[in-house]
Amino acid sequence: MKNNHLISKIAALSLSALLTVGSFTACSDSGSASVDSDGGNAGDNSNATYRTVEQIKESGKIVIGVFSDKAPFGYVDENGNYQGYDVYFAERIGKDLGVDIEYVSTDPASRVEYAATGKVDIVLANFTVTEERAEKVDFALPYMKVKLGVVSPDSAVVRSIDDLKDKTLIVVKGTTAETYFEKNEPDVQLQKYDEYADAYNALLQGRGDAFSTDNTEVLAWAIVNPGYTVGIDALGSADTIAPAVQKGNSSLLNWLNDEIKSLGEENFFHADYEATLASVYGSAANPDNLVVEGGVVD
């Protein structure tokens, strides 16, 4: 399948990067690698950034980048606590590492930067795997799969790309929706925002005709926002969602892969779905169409 092919290509990219780093990048006293201004590993280790699993354990804390405004995947509740599908996974990571978690709020456009520069140890922010991103960060095995969706007002439901003619489509910068429409539908007029909250507000306020992002998100949003319909619920090819770490951090990458495989044996991500998504989607989604167990995409 296409997903397996993409995962294989990404694994090859990651291995190539590791071999390259091993050939010319020395580790500092702390075992960290350095990063150049473009987020790639540099030969000079004076700006050490990533941390190995042992360093994370020794520090007693792991830093994880998540969304703070993208319910039900990553958001801050009324008590100021992070919640959601990604956060449920993050909590298990902290538990299994035996460390506390420091959450760092990220937005779609900054996810690559945060992982590539070591600002966070792991990005768990509904991060879709793409070949372009895999050149800058290392993706672990996937734990979810998605396509794009388009939500619009009931008064003018967008049910096909043709319905977007002479209309404005809202997207968030740095997302696969932005990439998809720029590459495949250049005639569609895009209105771009940095934050999901701003994008949804634009739709609610009538500043755009429709909004596109992962189908998992727009389906959930439409359920709690009467008057809006997901007229397109599966656009483009199926993509996978996976954790990301800094390029070359094989210690943390390997640990994450082993963790995802192990969690798959207990159907952890189906439990995650039941705890965080089932009440949102109800019968609107089949968990088997969204959840990936053990890093294996059906």
For the chain, the average pLDDT equals: 86
Interatomic CA distance for residues 109 and 82, integer angstroms: 20
148 near 241, Cβ under 8 Å?
Answer: no
Interatomic CA distance for residues 251 and 256, integer angstroms: 9
What's phi and psi for 180, nearest 5 deg? -60, -50
* Confidence at 205, pLDDT banded by 50, 70, 90: very high
Please provide the DSSP assignment of 146-158 as one string. EEEEEEEEGGG--
pLDDT of 7 over the 70 cut? no
230 near 148, Cβ under 8 Å?
Answer: no
pLDDT of 171 over the 60 cut? yes
Give the residue from 32, 19, 18, 115 showing the smallest Cα distance to 66: 115
171 near 177, Cβ under 8 Å?
Answer: yes
The predicted structure's pLDDT at residue 41: 38
41 near 47, Cβ under 8 Å?
Answer: no
What is the DSSP-derived secondary structure letter of residue 202?
Answer: H
Name the token pair of 63.
């830093």
pLDDT tens for residues 222-237? 988 999 999 998 898 8
Name the token pair of 194.
């940095």
Give the sheet arrangement for strand 168-172, strand by strand.
Answer: 189-193, 168-172, 210-214, 144-153, 228-241
102 near 62, Cβ under 8 Å?
Answer: yes
Name the token pair of 116.
């590539």
Give the residue from 288, 279, 292 showing the smallest Cα distance to 83: 279
* Confidence at 220, pLDDT banded by 50, 70, 90: confident
The predicted structure's pLDDT at residue 11: 43
Give the sheet arrangement for strand 82-83, strand by strand.
Answer: 69-70, 74-76, 82-83
Give the residue from 275, 234, 241 showing the smallest Cα distance to 260: 241
